[in-house]
Amino acid sequence: MAFQKFIIPTLAFAGAVVAQCDGPSITIASSTDAEQISNCRTYDGDVIIDESASGTLQINGVQQITGSLTCLNATQLTSISADQLGSIGGTFDLERLTILSGLSMGSLQAVNGIKFISLPALQSLNFGSGVRRANNVEISDTALTSLSGIELEAVTTMNINNNRYLTEVDVNNLGNVTRALTFAANSAQLKISLPNLESAANLTFINVSDVSMPSLSKVGGAFGTYFATFETFSAPNLTSTGSDLAFVSCGMLTNLSFPQLTTIGGGFLIANNSQLETIDQFPQLKTVAGALNFAGVFDKVTFPKLADVRGGADIESSTQDQTLCDDFKKAADSGIIKGDTSCKVNEANAQTNGSTTSSGGGSSSSSSSAADASLFDPSAPLTGLSALIAAILFI
């Protein structure tokens, strides 16, 4: 009987320990609270840091959280650390932590999602091993100066916005973006380097000073750059976009180079780039499925292989050279430009009017090898100014 009295309480204690590793969730407010799961190799559920948490909070021992790790509105919390945590099956969600300045997770390599919003004191990410796998990443309104510690190889969506101290992004291993990559309203000095990015569904860059993507070969959707401060942009290996290609209000831009681009799957928008005087480094461009909308100071437009513009063309330039419009008229008359074509020169304040063009237009059977240009597909959902507004609202 003495043996039975000993073994029964022992089994009961073991059962209690196991139960602490099973969710659906646990709420903690201190390092002492976190000790409840310190003996769990895996915690099966969500870990919630209560908004009453303050000072330093350590989540030690646990190596895997199958659910989310969440902390919202803990305005007195200064740091979070987890010495062995390697993966989070849900979202790593930190929001409105106004004095959080330390985030140390040296073993973290995989999360389903990262959502860091309104962390104005967070200047760096101490992810020693580097987060290599994540489906969705949103980082907004932090004091981060770089994304060091984010070492993704692929991502579904990445939206980095309103981080006013962010001056450098170097994600060397990122090779594929399956839905959307967006950088918007960060530091005006932001330089982005994505040396191994080969394909992306959609790309949007707003207020950046440099973008380097030497390996990019395909964009499945839209590619838009707005309010950038770089002087030159080159996509040396890009062969096609599935939707619109846009460069708008890049005030220092003097040179655009797309030496391998053959197909633009939507509209082609170049507008309000006050230093861009020539549009002529698209030597392989053959097809624009939408329309051309060009507005600015340019006096030379040359597309030597462009043979099919399925939308129209809306061209405005401050140049006094009437031959610019003559070339577009020839392209329309020869049937290269399928939709309505409008061209105006000597426009002192040339800028895009954001209008779409309907199908139909010049149908002359005469052939022409003159410079070709074109606007947006009438069926495309976003064109001209609408595309710009949508890109900005995306954030």
pLDDT, one tens digit for every residue, the chain (395 residues): 444 444 444 444 444 444 389 989 999 999 999 999 999 999 999 999 999 999 999 999 999 999 999 999 999 999 999 999 999 999 999 999 999 999 999 999 999 999 999 999 999 999 998 999 999 999 999 999 999 999 999 999 999 999 999 999 999 999 999 999 999 999 999 999 999 999 999 999 999 999 999 999 999 999 999 999 999 999 999 999 999 999 999 999 999 999 999 999 999 999 999 999 999 999 999 999 999 999 999 999 999 999 999 999 999 999 998 899 999 999 999 999 999 999 999 877 766 544 333 333 332 222 233 333 333 222 333 333 334 433 343 33
Concatenating the DSSP letter of every residue in 245-306 gives: EEEE--TT--EEE-TT--EESS-EEEEEETT--EE---TT--EESS-EEEEES--EE--TT-
> What are the two backbone dihedrals, phi and then psi, of residue 90, each rounded to the nearest 5 degrees?
-105, -140
Domain boundaries, the chain: 23-151, 203-395
Can you tell me the distance from the alpha carbon of 100 to that of 102, in angstroms, rounded to the nearest whole number?
6
Strand partners, 295: 271, 316
The residue to which tokens 């399928």 are assigned: 338
Q: What is the 3-state secondary structure (H, E, C) of 88-154?
A: EEEEEEEECCCCCCEEECCCCCEEEEEEEEEECCCCCCECCCCECECCEEEEEEECCCECCCECCCE
